Every structure is written in structure tokens, then in C-alpha cells.
Structure 1
Amino acid sequence: MRITDNQLATALGAWRRPGAALARALADAVGEAALDGRLRVGSRLPAERRAAAALGVSRGTVIAALDILRDEGWVDTRRGSASTLRLPLEATTRITPSSAMGEHGVIDLRRAVPAAPHAPYQRAVVRAAERSGPVLAESGETGPGLPELRSLIADRYTAERLATRPEQILITSGTRAALALLSAHLRPRVVAVEIPTYFDPLAGFRTTGTRLVGCQVNADGWDLDQLTAAFRTAAGGMAYLVPDFQNPTGALMPRTARRTVAELAERHHVTVVADETMRDLDLRDAPAPVQRISGSVLIGSAAKTIWAGLRVGWIRGSAALVGELAHHPLCEPLSAAPIQQLVAIELLRDLEPLLRDRRAVLRRQRDHLSGLLAGDDRWRFTVPPGGLALWLRLTTMRADLLTTRARAHGLELSPGPSFAADATHSHHLRLPYTPPISTLNRVATVLDLACGGRGA
């Protein structure tokens, strides 16, 4: 397939950058267009003269840009043939989304998410398509989920010493969908939440007018007195907790706290929904199995371990609860597409090698960023045992001011109040360590500048 002159010009748009050499700016624009799909990878680029005419530059500029793209692995040129657009090895093996790399000016760390495992994902898509015949012959409505995927997830729980049958699993289009379905079914008037916690569930609860009652959690653990008070207030309702590498603090709930939660839930008739999206991102040197909260409903997804674009999540509960959820009017709209479920099956079958590689990269990046920021009296933090981010407490300024200053230097961050049900934590900041070390160096530099220089 060939990219036409007009298609190239349209895809690149206003690609020139003040202060940047034309060839460098053109090469960057082509790479960015390939990453976000405006130029199709595997297609042939226009001939040099035609490209130059379409873009309003000299042929020499196009030749120089192609040289850069070849050196960086973006194009493949064979003698006598047009240049073919491709993705470089670095772009297909890294776990960092291009938006968080800062390759095109802005480092966007407002979302702590990984990029897809490029080659394994593509292979999974091909295998899923090859075996999709029986699914395509059906209506497209999967009810509680494809039986094979439910069995696979149930087997993973059982292997982790939580005996689970397939009928205890319901497939959704992610953890937000799982939480929305549970909320619609349980209809709690009050929900106990951690402060801080992941901002998407907070937004979901607020849209339904649910009252939120919080308990404080930090990198050192959960405030059990506040937890007790929150469960008492939420009696007959629901609690949404992230006990495993809590988002955003990275804290791991101790066994004593888990037992306390289970006792409080039974005493006050509170349904505990434990979000396990981060559970597999255990970065401890010698991980030990972590006991789950007894009696809790578990929700999980592939968003943090594989890719947020794989819209597959699940609920693990009693067979009776799953049966009720499967008959809820929202079950089908909140379910994952059949083809997505097939892709998930292919990836979850052999997930451990992928997790092992990702944990190693994240551990290295966490330690590097922690080392860059350690010993600075402008912030305090605890190195988290898992997850995707540091939770910084700023000592010299508010987080909203720092994020504004950081934005002026090309770094987008999420301030603490967006994670708090009560809009507190104005001096806290979530700082993901998902980018590679070279980008983390830039992040640390921007933080220093945003705070007015070291020791300011």
C-alpha cells in the first residue's frame, strides 16, 4: 500500500516546529503520525520529489529526514524501491506509552498506564482471529463471558490458593465497568473509600449521587480507627478498597488490616469490593503470597499488566452473586467484546513471562526515580513495594502550583486533590515511574525547576 502525496501532507498537518531544523521536525512528525495511526505502518512513502512538493520543502530536506528515520528505525529503504514505514524496535518493546515519553515535547504522566506488549499482543490478535469462527457464528452477546476465559481466570485464582469455579467469574469491559455493574446491582447509598484513591471510581460514584465516606491511607498503611468509622457509616452499603499496591500510594495492606476489614464488613453488612488491578505488579525482591480479604468481591482487569486498550475485566464473587449480575440489564452493555475476550485468552494463557519482564523494568525505573529524588527536603516519599507510581508529599508548595509550573516545562501531572473524595491532599502528587530512565531524568529536572531550584 502506498501513501499518496495528499495523505502524507494531511497526516502531518502543521509539522514545522520553531527552533527545530526542518529535517528533524519532519522526521519527528512522520514518527508521531505512525505511532498514533495517521500514517499506516507497512505502507510505502511517496517518492522524494513528490513528498517535497506536497510538503513545500526542498528534496534535500526530505532526503535528510529519511536518513534520520532510517537511522532511528522508522523506515526501511531497499535499492530501487520506495521507503516503507515501520516501527523501530524500541517502540515495539518498551512498556511506556509514547505520550509519556516526551518525544514530541510534552511528557504526559496524568495516567499511570503501560503501553501494549507489541509483539505478543499482535500474535495474540492473529491467533484470536484464526479461532474466532465459532464466536462469529453466535449472536455476539456473551452473557457472563466466554466459558474459556472464565475458566482461565478461575484457574488463576485457584492457583493462588483461592478455590474458584468458572461460574464465580463474570467478564466485563474493565474494572470501571465491573464497579458500575456492582454499584447498579447493590445500589449502595453510602460507599466507604480510601483517601486518596483512584480518581475514576470516585467520578463514577459521584455521578450516581452516592455518598462517600473516607478513611485515610498513606504509604505506611491504613488508619484503622478511620476505617472502623467509615464502615460504621456505610452500614448496609459498600466499600471500595485497593489493598494490593494501592493507587496512588502504592501501599500494601497488612494481614492484620485485612482481617479487620473482613470483621467490620461482617459486623456492618458492608460488601467489600477489592480492586486487584495492581496486584500482579509486585516489585518486592522476594514476594510472598498476600492473603485476600475474606468474603470480599474481587475485581480485576488487564489494564495495568497488559494494556488499557484491551478492554477486558472481571468480577470474582459467589456463584449466586455472579448469577444475579448476569441477569442485570447492564450486564451486556458493560461486557467485553467477544474478539477482545479471545485476545485476552491468548495473552492470559502465558502471562508470567510478560509479567516477569514488566516487573523487572518497573523495578529498575522505580529505583532510578527514587534515587534521583531521595534526600531532597522539598518532598517526602516512601519507596512503594509495587504499583506504578511514587506518592510525593510536597513540603514547600501546593501540588496545583507545582503542576502548573511543570506544565510550562512540558510535564503534565495529577495533583493530590483529584484522588481525594474530600478534595484534600493539596500538597501531594502522584508521579508515575512508567517512562524509561532517560525520560525520568527529564522529569526530575522539571520538578527541580518547578520548585524553584534545589533547596528553594
Structure 2
Amino acid sequence: MHITDNQLAAALGAWRRPDAGLARALADAVGDATLDGRLRVGSRLPAERRAAAALGVSRGTVIAALGILRDEGRVDTRRGSASTLRLPPEATARIAPSSALGEDGAIDLRRAVPAAPHALYQRAVLRAAERSGPVLAESGETGPGLPELRSLIADRYTRERLATRPEQILITSGTRSALALLSTHLRPRAVAVEIPTYFDPLAGFRAIGTRLVGCRVTADGWDLDQLEDALRTATGGMAYLVPDFQNPTGALMPKAVRRTVARLAERHRVTVVVDETMRDLDLRDTPAPVQRIPGSILIGSAAKTIWAGLRVGWIRGPAALVGVLARHPLCEPLSAAPTQQLVAIELLRDLEPLLRDRRAVLRRQRDHLSGLLAGDDRWRFTVPPGGLALWLRLTTMRADLVTTRARAHGLELSPGPSFAADATHSHHLRLPYTPPISTLDRIATVLDLACPTIGRTSARPARR
């Protein structure tokens, strides 16, 4: 993929610095834009003369900057061809999320999960136990899932104007299991993924040796040029997308983009798998379902709406596909336990009151944390219309350094490269607003301590 003159200038922005020469400042700006995902890894830079004209510098400055970038392992240049962006070895080592355990009393925000609805869940468990006799009399293998649960989920899709029959639903032990079963069945050579995206699916795709093709997503939406390029590169393969309150950006894919995805997927014979785990966490003033991507296979779970400990998920697709998946050797091992399915039936039967409460609490917590962090030069963010987290763009430090400093104060965070298939987004942090207000106050205080105060627009009182 070629980067145009205008794209380069827009990605670098105001890159000149009074504390560095032009070549050094330009090299740093290109390196930061690559690590942050504004310039895509593997893309080719404009020719030297064109880049110089677009940036308002001499060709010699561009040549010197490229020399610095080559020495640092950030570009490859072959004689007679353009320079190609790459990541240095130290950046690629940061792909894996941190596995360090926090000390007692530490706040661990590496997983964005809501608390269990204790009383509601306990009542559901008791009701499920009371009606478990017929299930306990069977072998414990449920095939595509308990009929009642499949019907409940199918009815919910139908109420949302997506006519669905129970035979189009297959129950799994969560979205990761659903994705693993689909990946094993489809065996895609390449998978188009969003950059950034949820890190667990990335690990699953890498484990089976699948090539990952990235498409940039920000809080403002999907990069259509990269999206088309990713689907073209994944021809005959699969796309894994989170169009509803995307994890971690919180973005909501517009209807027009969804239609574009469907058209491109059909053209390139790409199977689109849509993760709807966040779909119910609509925090807009008037929540309303958005039209789904036509022809996509849907996967969902109760992990984010009810509790991550309820290991129940599902696949919604053509009945023929569900029938094939139900006969797959991995279907039973990846299925939810029948007793868990019974609990899910009890909770999903009347889910709307729980969702209303969840949305109200999350909206209040989102707004509280956003208010604590607003108006500070050390980070930028867009208040998301849904989901579970803020996606912070740090302006004074790299995310891995902030993560290390925060850990020293008892706060575990996930840095941006954990969510990027190409290890970019080194200046981003995912900051869940799932904890209660008092804990969010502490989180904001730790973040204040973990980031330098250079560049603040105004003095602010210390957070308590």
C-alpha cells in the first residue's frame, strides 16, 4: 500500500520540534506515527522529492531522516524502490499483553468486565437447579445446545428484525469458543482484523498460524481504504469485526460502512464473522439496534452483559452451517455445560431490566471518568457511545511506560500494542470504566501520577 503525499503530511501533523534538528524530528515523527497506527506498517513512503515538497523541507532533510529510520530498523529501502515502513525489534516484543500479577489490593483493569448481578444471578441458579431434572437424566451432551435456549436467542434476533429460527443457533462456551469452532471449520488462510481489536481473538488466530491483515479503526470510525485492502488481501478467507461499540475504541460502525463491508466481502469471497459481545451495551441517550452487516455470521455471549463467569455464547448463521458445525468433533468440547445453559435461560428470559440497569450504571461511570480526565493535554479521547472503556491517546509518554508507572501504584492497565495485530498504538491505553465511582477516582489519581505534567493546558488541583 502506497502512502500519498497528503496522507503523510496529515499523519505527521505539526512534527517540527525546537529541541531537535529537522532530520531527527522528522524521523521521530514517522516512527511515532507508525507505532501509533497513523501510518500503516508495510506501507511504502512517497518518493523523496515528493515527500520533501509535501512536508516543506529539502530533499536532503528527507534523505537524512530516512537514514536515521533505516539505522533504527524502522524502514527498509531497496535500491530503485520506495522505503517501506516496519517496526523495530523492541516494538514487536510488546505484542503480548502483560501477564504480571498485581499485589494484594491492586486494581486490575486488564480485563474490561462488569460485576456479576449477584442477587439476580443467585435466583437464576436456584430456579435452574429446580428444573434441572430432565437435563440431569441425560448424558450431559447437548449437541447444538438446549432447545429452549436456542429458541430464546432466536426469538431475540427476530424481535430485532433479523428473522431467525432455532436451528440457526449453536450454543458454545463463549465467543472465543465460537470463533475457535468457526476458524477450525473455515480454515482461513488469512483473516482481516481491525487494528486495534480485542486481544484474545488475535492470540487464537496466531495459534493456528493464520495470517492477520489489519484495518485501522479509531474512535471516529473505520479507515475505508484499509478496510477494502484488508478484505482484498484476505480473499477466500475470513474477517473478524466488532462493529458495535468496538473493543477497545468504542466506535459504532455506520450503516453505509456496513453495506460496504457486505459488498466487498461478497466480491472477495470473505466470510464476515461479527462479534456482538458489546452490542447490548449501548450508552446513547436513546439506545437503538443498528442494522447488521448483511450476510455475516454473528457470535455473541453473556460475558459483557451479565457476567464473564457465565460461560455461554452462541453462533447465529445459516441452518446448513450450524448443522455442519454441530457435527464437528470440536463442537461438544467447545459447548457450554448444560447447567450453565439452564442458568442462561433464566437470565435471558427477562434480560431487558438488567440491561437498563447496566446501561444506566455504565453511562454514569463513563461520564464520571470522562469528566475526571477531560481538558488535560496529556491525553486525548472521545467519549464512546457504548462499550466498557475509554481509549486514551497519550501525548507525553508511551503506553508501556505509563503502564509500568501505574503498576508501581497498584494499577494494572493494558497498553495499546496488546490490541494491535501489528504491535502499533504505542501511545494508547484502554481504560475501563467498569469499577464503581470511588475506584474510578483512585484510577484517575494513579493515572495523574503515572503521566508527566509537561504540556498541561492549565493547572489542575490534585485528585483525591
Q: TM-score range by the shorter chain?
A: 0.7 to 0.9
Residue of structure 1 equivalent to 2:447: 447
Residue of structure 2 equivalent to 1:144: 144
**1: distance between equivalents of 2:365 and 2:443?**
12
Residue of structure 1 equivalent to 2:242: 242
The one-letter amino acid of 1:417's match is P
Superposed CA deviations along residues 82-101 of structure 1, whole A, max 9, x for unmatched, are xxxxxxxxxxxxxxxxxxxx
**1:281 pairs with 2:278:** no
For 1:375-414, what aligned pairs fall within 5 Å after superposition? 375-414=375-414
**1: distance between equivalents of 2:142 and 2:224?**
41
The one-letter amino acid of 1:296's match is S
Residue of structure 2 equivalent to 1:85: none
Q: Is the 8 A contact 2:168 2:322 kept in 1?
A: yes
Superposed CA deviations along residues 187-221 of structure 1, whole A, max 9, x for unmatched, are 00100000000000000000000000000001000
Deviation at 1:286? Answer: 1.4
For 1:10-409, what aligned pairs fall within 5 Å after superposition? 105-409=105-409
The one-letter amino acid of 2:281's match is L
**1: distance between equivalents of 2:289 and 2:205?**
31
Deviation at 1:114? Answer: 1.0
Unaligned runs of at least 5 residues, structure 1: 1-101
Deviation at 1:454? Answer: 6.9
Residue of structure 2 equivalent to 1:420: 420
Secondary structure at the aligned position of 2:426 is classed as coil
Residue of structure 1 equivalent to 2:8: none
Secondary structure at the aligned position of 1:249 is classed as coil
**1: distance between equivalents of 2:408 and 2:287?**
40
Superposed CA deviations along residues 292-335 of structure 1, whole A, max 9, x for unmatched, are 00000000000000001000000000000000100111000000
Superposed CA deviations along residues 56-104 of structure 1, whole A, max 9, x for unmatched, are xxxxxxxxxxxxxxxxxxxxxxxxxxxxxxxxxxxxxxxxxxxxxx995
**1: distance between equivalents of 2:248 and 2:285?**
21
User: Could you state the TM-score of these two structures normalised by the residue count of structure 2?
Assistant: 0.76
Superposed CA deviations along residues 129-181 of structure 1, whole A, max 9, x for unmatched, are 10000001111000000000000000000000000000000000000000000
Deviation at 1:455? Answer: 4.2
Q: Is the 8 A contact 1:113 1:307 kept in 2?
A: yes
State the identity as a percent: 90
Q: Is the 8 A contact 1:231 1:268 kept in 2?
A: yes
**2: distance between equivalents of 1:339 and 1:439?**
34
Deviation at 1:116? Answer: 1.0
Secondary structure at the aligned position of 1:236 is classed as coil
Secondary structure at the aligned position of 1:424 is classed as coil
Secondary structure at the aligned position of 1:143 is classed as coil
The one-letter amino acid of 2:338's match is P
The one-letter amino acid of 2:128's match is A
The one-letter amino acid of 1:430's match is R
Secondary structure at the aligned position of 1:391 is classed as strand
**2: distance between equivalents of 1:453 and 1:375?**
13
**2: distance between equivalents of 1:103 and 1:371?**
28
Residue of structure 1 equivalent to 2:53: none
Q: Is the 8 A contact 1:140 1:338 kept in 2?
A: yes
Cα RMSD of the aligned pairs, angstroms, is 1.1
**2: distance between equivalents of 1:149 and 1:405?**
46
The aligned length equals: 355
The one-letter amino acid of 2:444's match is A
Deviation at 1:115? Answer: 1.6
Deviation at 1:287? Answer: 2.1
The one-letter amino acid of 2:231's match is F
Q: Is the 8 A contact 2:406 2:447 kept in 1?
A: yes
**1:435 pairs with 2:435:** yes
Unaligned runs of at least 5 residues, structure 2: 1-101, 457-464
**2: distance between equivalents of 1:182 and 1:421?**
20
**2: distance between equivalents of 1:205 and 1:163?**
31
**2: distance between equivalents of 1:195 and 1:388?**
18
**2: distance between equivalents of 1:273 and 1:444?**
36
**2: distance between equivalents of 1:364 and 1:169?**
34
Residue of structure 2 equivalent to 1:47: none
Q: Is the 8 A contact 1:284 1:385 kept in 2?
A: yes
Secondary structure at the aligned position of 2:143 is classed as coil
Deviation at 1:453? Answer: 3.9
Q: Is the 8 A contact 1:213 1:234 kept in 2?
A: yes
Secondary structure at the aligned position of 1:439 is classed as helix
Q: Is the 8 A contact 1:250 1:387 kept in 2?
A: yes
Secondary structure at the aligned position of 1:184 is classed as helix
Deviation at 1:352? Answer: 0.5
Q: Is the 8 A contact 1:448 1:454 kept in 2?
A: no
Q: Is the 8 A contact 2:194 2:240 kept in 1?
A: yes
Deviation at 1:452? Answer: 2.8
Deviation at 1:289? Answer: 2.5
Secondary structure at the aligned position of 2:434 is classed as coil
**2: distance between equivalents of 1:135 and 1:441?**
46
The one-letter amino acid of 1:372's match is L
Deviation at 1:105? Answer: 2.5
Q: Is the 8 A contact 2:378 2:453 kept in 1?
A: no
**2: distance between equivalents of 1:453 and 1:349?**
50
**1: distance between equivalents of 2:301 and 2:245?**
15
Secondary structure at the aligned position of 2:300 is classed as strand
**2: distance between equivalents of 1:368 and 1:260?**
36
Tell me whether 204-213 or 284-293 shows the greater mean CA deviation: 284-293
Secondary structure at the aligned position of 1:287 is classed as coil
Secondary structure at the aligned position of 1:135 is classed as helix
